[in-house]
Amino acid sequence: MTDQTRPEILEVQVKNKAIKYQKDKLNVILNLAEMLDLEHISKLHKKVKKMYIDKFKTTDHFAQFRENK
């Protein structure tokens, strides 16, 4: 049996909880977005696109993709 108090186990658990939290939030947002009319979906799309571009330019996760362009 694995020792559950090891720091590596805690890091994996925290990472998995963070991923689950993100997935849960996405599901809530998608359910709410389904209730919007076309005008508000369009506004949401523009805002999400702007947020994506801002994150793409400022987050290290995407550095490898920015260098190729």
Distances 23 to 26, 27, 28, 68 between C-alpha atoms, Å: 5, 6, 9, 29
pLDDT of residue 9: 84
Query: For residues 48 and 41, what is the distance between their CA atoms, to the nearest angstrom?
Result: 10
Residue 1 has pLDDT above 60, yes or no: no
pLDDT band at 3 (very low <50, low <70, confident <90, very high): low
> Could you report the per-residue pLDDT of 6-62, keeping only the tens digit for each?
777 888 889 999 999 999 999 999 999 999 999 999 999 999 999 988 888 887 776
pTM above 0.85, yes or no: no
